[in-house]
Amino acid sequence: MSSKSAGKVKLKSFDDLFGTQEVAAGETVTSVPLSQLHTFKDHPFRVLDDEKMQETVDSVKKYGVLIPGIVRPHPENGYEVVAGHRRWRACELVGLEEMPVIIREMDDDTAVVIMVDTNIQREDILPSEKAKAYRMKYEAMKHQGSKGDKYTADAIGEAAGDSGRTVQRYIRLSELVQELLDYVDDNKIPMVVGEKLSYLQKEEQEWVTEAIGNSSIFPSKEQADKLRELSEAGELTEGEVYAVLIRKEKGNVKVTIPQKKIRNYFPESYSKEQIENVIYTLLENWSRKEGGTIDAGNTV
């Protein structure tokens, strides 16, 4: 595989350059064309053109790329970036044609571990990014023969400054459908609630997403516990999702159900008034059956 090299420089002091021991003795820095670089497969971290990126751009303009990226040969052509996606983007914004990198042969699991470790301690990481990154590293370490679930989670946490239990919680978040994960990123659903909702089946999570969108009610910890309980008992339905969310709310609750969805349950000849009467009758019967006393918060 050819690369356009502006020169190879022997690394005399790895600690001065990286502050880590990830660079092997004897490795060289090679300048390769940006056109030969490929994003790491399933890269979980955002690369945004934000204020911090502008700082990186200004630094590259003034000093060049001080810390080379780490890449490995791409199976088709060029190189896959393992560490250095933000530096790569900064080089593009500056208008450079090449970037200094260390080319290293490594298997998928080793590449994942390095990719996660070189990004995980950034301050602006979203819960969804951490969730996906921790899951990727967890699976990679298991492939490498890690001793057990708790040991693996503890080892991941130690490298990132989190407890093993926190790592496990983030990994659970990766089981959420994207819409619910977005709510966690936006601080509309607390992490502890997101963890509980992650145990619901995908279809059940979609019901929760739709219910939130129609009612503007976000589940509490107690409500999430109730939803999980019903799911594990095989008793969770789309209607029960609405019931659990609404039961605990006090005062007026505004629920909007799309007309198109309502229409699917009624003959085309039914008028708006007829449809409303049927809905009110069903709700009244449901209320009498439940007795109006069940509270999701009482079943924790």
Q: What is the pLDDT of residues 67-94, one digit of tens each?
A: 999 999 998 899 999 999 999 999 999 9
For the chain, the domains span 8-106, 175-299
Locate 17 and state its tokens. Answer: 């350059």
Backbone angles phi, psi at 101, to 5 degrees: -145, 165
Least confidently predicted of 55-64, 217-226, 252-261? 252-261
Higher-confidence residue of 213 and 260: namely: 213
> CA-to-CA distance for 64 and 272, rounded, in angstroms?
67
Name the CATH architecture for the domain at 8-106. Alpha-Beta Complex (3.90)
Kind of pairing between the strands at 79-83 and 37-38: parallel
Digit-coded pLDDT (tens) for 155-213: 999 988 899 999 999 999 999 999 999 999 999 999 999 999 999 999 999 999 999 99
Write the DSSP symbol of residue 237. Answer: -
Mean pLDDT of the chain: 84
SS3 content of the chain, % helix, strand, coil (to 5): 55, 10, 40
> CA-to-CA distance for 104 and 71, rounded, in angstroms?
6
User: Which pTM was predicted?
Assistant: 0.72
Residue whose C-alpha is closest to residue 176's, from 198, 204, 192, 209: 198
Beta-carbon contacts of residue 201 (< 8 Å; ≥ 6 apart): 231
Residue whose C-alpha is closest to residue 34's, from 94, 83, 99: 99
